[in-house]
Structure formats: C-alpha cells, structure tokens
C-alpha cells in the first residue's frame, strides 16, 4: 500500500539527486513511497535517440515528438485504468495544497511527463494525459522541478512519512492563513529579543498573539487568502487591532 510515482524525463539525474536526501530518501527506503525514474530517450527508436523536432507552422523553439511518449506508456503502463498521467506545464491547473491532498488519496500510479523545449506535441496531451498542472505563473526550463515539487508536497501527506503526524494539521495552509513567526534560543540575539508573550507561559495569550500575527501576515502578503477565510468574532477583533495600528502609522507618515 505505498504511493507509486513515475517520472518521464530526458534528465533522470536531476530527479535522483533530490530524491536521495532527507525525508524523501527515508520514505523511499521504508517503502512508504516509490519513485520510478525513466529516461525518455530510451524510448526514441532512431539511432540518434531524437526526442524533439521543428514545429509545424514555423516559429521559435523545438517541440517534443509524440512517439517516445506513446512508446513508453505502451511498454510500461499499458492499462489505462491503473495510471494517472500528469503533464507539467504553465498551461495547467495551478497546483496547491488541495491538489496535493487529492493526489495523496489517488490509488492509481501517478506518472509525470516532464517537457523540455517550447512544447510537447498536442497529441500527447489529447491521448495520454489525464491532468495538466502548473506550479506557478512563471516559465521554467523544464518540468523536472515541478514534478519534484508535487512529489515533495504529496509525500509529506502520506501517513508515516513525517515523524510527527500532527505537524501537517497545525501548519498554515490547513487552517487557511499564513504561518505566524517562530523563535528558538537564544532569547536575546544581536540586540534582537523574542516577543515576551512567548516566554510568559500564558497559553491563551500565546495563541491569541499567534493568531493575530497569522492574520497580519495574511493581510499583508496574501489578502486573497484572507477573503476566503471565515473569520470568527475574536478574529475580527484581532483584525481591527491590526488595522488600527496600521492607520496610526499612516497618520504619523
């Protein structure tokens, strides 16, 4: 009952490097996770192992040929019902924590197609791909980092992968706000002190401070998240306090 990922790429070493460390390495060693890495060039039938070609219609850049993708799928994952093929591209659905949860629950083997160059022949998307994801609105040089991003985000949701199961419940995205600031020893460092409330031992005051800091960070950096978040009455009070301070600062400037 372990999660099975496969990655199709022309740069297998890029993925192997990242998967060989820390939590993912341990998850793979303990059979909670498996990641098959496949070199697309091995499925290019010509003697030069060609995976790209010029675009029909002209224009800049190269397009990945369809044949190696069809061949690898037919030889490794012939049964449509047992596979979920994901294409990484800027045209895809934006990957987020909800998508990570969906993929963590998926029973089928998850196969990532990592493109290089400008594009992949549309017939690959139309016939083989089940879902297209983007990891953000910027252009990368290939789909390898996005595949690793998704594997990483999904892996830590698999029971047993993180030592402390509770740590996934408490973190920012599961409660819809950004995280509050954290501190560790020493209490005084280069003239900077830890906020007194965190040393007070007053847990309701600490929780109130953390919630206020979380609302403040979200208001400043991700107002879109704050709009979706359902504020309780006490959250509204904290938000008023934050806005009060920011108005005072505005008036003094």
88 binds ligand 4GX (CB under 6 A): yes
| Minimum gap (Å) between residue 145 Cβ and ligand 4GX | 8
Q: Enter the tokens of residue 125.
A: 């998307």
Q: Enter the tokens of residue 165.
A: 């199961």
Among 5, 35, 143, 226, binds ligand 4GX (CB under 6 A): 143
Give one DSSP letter per residue of 15-57, joined into a string. HHHHHTSHHHHHHHHTTSEEEEEEEGGGG--STT---EEPPTT
Q: Select 44 or 87, whichever has its Cβ closest to ligand 4GX.
A: 87
- Alpha carbon 239 to chain centroid distance? 29
Q: Select 135 or 217, whichever has its Cβ closest to ligand 4GX.
A: 135
Cis preceding linkage at 214, omega within 30:
no
59 binds ligand 4GX (CB under 6 A): no
Q: How far apart are CA 166 and CA 164, in angstroms?
A: 6
- Enter the DSSP assignment of 57: T
Which residue is at the shortest CB distance from ligand 4GX? 115
By CB under 6 A, the residues from 213 to 242 that bind ligand 4GX are: none
- 3-class secondary structure, 53: strand
On whether the CB atoms of residues 168 and 176 are closer than 8 A, the answer is no
Q: Which of these segments, 33-41, 140-148, 176-184, 244-252, binds ligand 4GX (CB under 6 A)? A: 140-148
The DSSP bridge pattern shows strands 33-39 and 63-64 to be unpaired
146 binds ligand 4GX (CB under 6 A): yes
89 binds ligand 4GX (CB under 6 A): yes
Binding pattern for the stretch 107-126 against ligand 4GX, x by CB under 6 A and - elsewhere: --------x---xx------
Q: How far apart are CA 93 and CA 189, in angstroms?
A: 44
90 binds ligand 4GX (CB under 6 A): yes
142 binds ligand 4GX (CB under 6 A): yes
On whether the CB atoms of residues 143 and 114 are closer than 8 A, the answer is yes
| Minimum gap (Å) between residue 146 Cβ and ligand 4GX | 4
Minimal CA–CA distance to 36: which of 93, 66, 75?
Answer: 75
160 binds ligand 4GX (CB under 6 A): no
Q: How far apart are CA 27 and CA 33, in angstroms?
A: 6
Q: Select 139 or 249, whichever has its Cβ closest to ligand 4GX.
A: 139
7 binds ligand 4GX (CB under 6 A): no
Name the residues that contact ligand 4GX, by CB under 6 A: 87-90, 115, 119-120, 134-136, 138-140, 142-143, 146
């Amino acid at each position: 009952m372990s999660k099975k990922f496969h990655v199709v790429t022309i740069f297998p070493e890029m993925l192997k490097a990242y998967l060989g460390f820390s939590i993912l390495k341990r998850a793979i060693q303990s059979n909670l996770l498996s990641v098959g890495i496949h070199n697309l060039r091995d499925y290019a039938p010509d003697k030069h192992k060609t995976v790209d070609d010029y675009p029909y219609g002209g224009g800049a850049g190269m397009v990945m040929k369809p044949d190696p993708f069809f061949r690898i799928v037919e030889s490794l994952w012939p049964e449509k019902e047992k596979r979920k093929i994901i294409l990484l591209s800027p045209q895809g659905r934006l990957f987020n924590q909800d998508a990570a949860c969906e993929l963590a629950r998926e029973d089928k083997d998850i196969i990532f197609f990592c493109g290089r160059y400008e594009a992949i022949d549309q017939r690959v998307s139309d016939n083989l791909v089940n879902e297209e994801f983007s990891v953000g609105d910027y252009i990368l040089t290939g789909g390898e980092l996005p595949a690793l991003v998704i594997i990483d985000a999904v892996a830590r949701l698999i029971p047993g992968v993180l030592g402390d199961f509770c740590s996934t419940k408490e973190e920012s995205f599961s409660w819809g706000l950004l995280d509050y600031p954290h501190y560790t020893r020493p209490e005084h460092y280069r003239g900077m002190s830890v906020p007194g409330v965190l040393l007070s031992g007053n847990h309701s005051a600490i929780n109130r401070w953390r919630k206020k800091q979380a609302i403040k960070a979200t208001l400043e950096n991700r107002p879109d998240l704050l709009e979706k978040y359902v504020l309780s009455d006490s959250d509204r009070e904290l938000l008023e306090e934050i806005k009060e301070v920011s108005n005072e600062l505005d008036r003094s400037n």
